[in-house]
Amino acid sequence: MGELETLQGIASVLEVSCPFEFQDVLIKELAIDSRKVVLPAQSLFFAIKGDRHDGHNFIPQLYENGVRAFVVKVDYLAPGQLDDAFFIRTESPLAALQIVAASKRAQFNYPLIAITGSNGKTIVKEWLYQLLDPSYNIIRSPKSYNSQVGVPLSVWKMNYDNDLAIIEAGISMPGEMVKLERIIRPTIGIFTNLGQAHDENFTDSNQKAREKLDLFQNVETLIYCKDYLIIQEELEQYPFASNPKLFAWSRRSASDLQIGRVEKKDGSTEIQGIYQHNFIKIRIPFSDEASIENAIHCWAALLLLGLDNETIATRMEQLAPVAMRLELKQGVNNCSVINDSYNSDLQSISIALDFLQQQHQHPIRTLILSDILQTGRPDEELYAEVAQIIKDKKVDRLIGIGKHISGQAALFAAETEFFHSTADFLSAYSHDWFYNETILLKGARSFGFEAINSILQHKTHHTVLEIDLGAMVHNLNLIRSLLKPNTKLMAMVKAFGYGSGSFEIANVLQFHHVGYLAVAYADEGIELRKAGISLPIMVISPEEQSFDAMIQYGLEPEIFSVRSLQLLENAIARKGTLDSPLKIHIKLNTGMNRLGFAERELNQLIVRVKNNKQLHVASVFSHLAASENPEEDDFTRKQIALFEKMSSELTAHFQYSITRHICNSFGIIRFPEAQFDMVRLGIGLYGVAPESPVTNRLRNVSTLRTTITQLHELRDGDTIGYGRIEKVVGEMRSATLPIGYADGLNRKNGNRQGYVVINGHRAPIVGNVCMDMCMVDVTGVPCKEGDDVVVFGTELPITEFAKNSETIPYEVLTSVSSRVKRVYYQE
């Protein structure tokens, strides 16, 4: 342990004094997210202020959870109850974090490989780890920790047990890479490629290439592909501080590693090359172009490090896919299963446990964990730290698999069971072992946890709706960036979360500090409460029989008419005096003419609500009828003006603040002047928005996938499906897919009106769509039975699919039936 790992050492680096009683406090963890602190007594929290959140606001909560050391802005006023906390005051906590990490990096002189580029950074990093792990003790960035905060958190993990570091770095703005270079100080660089990501923040691709090259200004060697002409052009002009060796590879011109024949066959690829005048080759178990490029970058790095090609070739054949995401799926016996069974180290365990901790839909959190391999640490020390992490993350049940973790069973306080191998677990497994639990699988590859995942998953047919939670969070933050600083956000999770799952989506939104949730009916809100959702929840369509339950579960009804107000007052009368006034949301009719009080009814409404001390108006709102349609903008502005008038009249009669909101997803983007106090975000969360500068920055969230069940070779005169509508002319190859109108595939897509995407090719849907199946024309499409099929998603946007279905994206999403398994994943 170095001096820097104490508060005294860190304070010294930041040029502040440290009181005697704090000088020897050991710091193992640098933290920036109050929700992800693993070892509170040994954590230093940096209170970073972002666009929407300020870390200083979470200090009391962190103190309550056991954190005592904080880096704050100089003007931060600490609450009085934090007397025994230590505050390092600085102009910029973010800059302080980077300074501390840079000082930590300076302690070590072993090689550090830094990777940047528009695509492939994380894959190259993880593959280098797989390929070099037998030869080195490696520290690497966890997942995609490549930002201004992710890089310092990664570098902090470097220690004297390692002899190689692999760190990835990404930027989105000019000037960022210089800061990262000061932290990382790489000895070897890899520039993967140059693509279009973040183009909007740079004047052109050349500027972006120069900015990325800043990472390598002091490297000893830089690996890159000469075929990216802009990279080559900028390299020739870049003013390196060092005089680095440039290690180039190319498919087109003479290079250090000259790539020759590339032959794909049966899902694998043989890559031939010439290096130092010798013919060499490797084979990788992948055939896509991105994997081929990533593998060549790794090949160049291994050759540079001096590995012989025979060893390289053996390891390349064993490359495993990189799990870029945590998947949440429905499991047996009302369980949810999170599958992260591809690697097992302390960094990835903490990340996976953060995801587990977000899940509140089941009362029990279970971790199935394998031995943690090749750390170089004594078992007792290693598993003592694991036990503490598990305790801090509130895991209820641990199943340990492996001889090493089993040997340290006494260290774990949770309910535990241990098995020496995966085979032992599978032999002992009984179907009733798990019930109503969230189960996290976290295992090193060699333990083959895929077999455990298989038996724990709920068995359904091959059609699934994938929900990318990371993309949803991206969209949430993008919309937040459009809001004024004090504008709150209500997220709509009605209709089973737009078909994506209510509590799964609500968990993510709660974790990311959305202010309010909204559901259509009380039953939806009650299920969220039972799943552990504590956010305020507005019920848009309260029914007469539901008011009693809404009061019981702390749900907040929309009141839209005199009758709905009377029904609520009757329910309150049955309950008697409430512990606190019930919050209500008053709906005004400004032109939608669906629900809401008319202007002439305002006086009566105000009098009744003011006279009922058991009611509290939380918000007043209205609904835009055509905010997506430019041709109706005059009407939309009339609605906004009428809402301003009516809501101002209502709020003026109350002595407390009442939140006002009218904008939906389209309104947020097209009418920023109408944000009022809060906005309601619905379909925009899923990446659907009107044409605007924002549209292309939103990410697709939902992907409906299926597979090819059977292929048919058809002849002239054959017919397909019910009614024999599709008649074959000449020859045709058709594929049958296990998805039909009972799954949510609208029948209007049949008879060549709609299509799916198979291996990058569009295949029209032929004949009538059946209840459980449909058929597509795959003539000329390279495919086989079992291949993946995209019904809608990034390759076929939901807006286009909805147009083919003669409907709107809302209906498409909410029509995906409950028998289609939802798979949630997070990068």
Strand partners, 191: 116, 224
Strands of 91-131 (E only): list them.
Answer: 112-116
- The residue type of 626 is A
Least confident interval from 289-298, 384-393, 621-630, 709-718: 384-393
Rounded Cα distance, 417 and 526, in Å: 34
At 367, is the secondary structure helix, strand, or coil?
strand
Confidence band, pLDDT 50/70/90 cuts, at residue 344: low
What is the structure's pLDDT at 198? 67
Tokens of 254: 């003479």
Rounded Cα distance, 588 and 624, in Å: 11
pLDDT in tens, 256-285: 999 999 998 878 899 999 999 999 999 999
Give the orientation angle of helix 205-213 with respect to helix 229-237, to 10 degrees. 60
Find out whether 322 and 126 touch, Cβ atoms under 8 Å. yes
587 as an active site residue: the answer is: no
Nearest to 235 by CA among 249, 246, 227: 246
722 as an active site residue: the answer is: yes
Q: Which of 391, 530, 610, 722 is the catalytic position?
A: 722
Rounded Cα distance, 768 and 359, in Å: 41
Q: Which of 212, 494, 587, 741 is the catalytic position?
A: 494
Tokens of 216: 């390598």
Q: For strand 488-492 and strand 164-168, is the pairing parallel, antiparallel, or unpaired?
A: unpaired
Confidence band, pLDDT 50/70/90 cuts, at residue 458: low
pTM strictly above 0.75: no
- The residue type of 69 is A
Strands of 200-277 (E only): list them.
Answer: 221-225, 245-250, 257-265, 268-275
Count of C-beta atoms within a 10 Å radius of residue 472: 25
Rounded Cα distance, 703 and 467, in Å: 7
- The residue type of 7 is L
**Helices and strands (DSSP H and E) totals, the chain:** 26, 38
Rounded Cα distance, 756 and 754, in Å: 7
**Which residues lie below 8 Å from residue 247, measured CB to CB, with a gap of 6+?**
221, 222, 223, 224, 256, 257, 300, 304
Q: What Cα–Cα distance (Å) separates residue 204 from each residue in 179, 339, 352, 466, 469? A: 21, 40, 38, 35, 31
Check pLDDT > 90 for residue 750: yes
Confidence band, pLDDT 50/70/90 cuts, at residue 652: very high
Q: For strand 821-826 and strand 326-330, is the pairing parallel, antiparallel, or unpaired?
A: antiparallel
pLDDT in tens, 681-711: 998 898 888 777 788 889 999 999 999 999 9
Backbone angles phi, psi at 198, to 5 degrees: 65, 20
Rg (alpha carbons) of the chain, rounded to whole number? 29
pLDDT in tens, 563-617: 999 999 999 998 888 889 999 999 999 999 999 999 999 999 999 999 999 999 9
pLDDT in tens, 175-195: 999 999 999 999 999 999 988
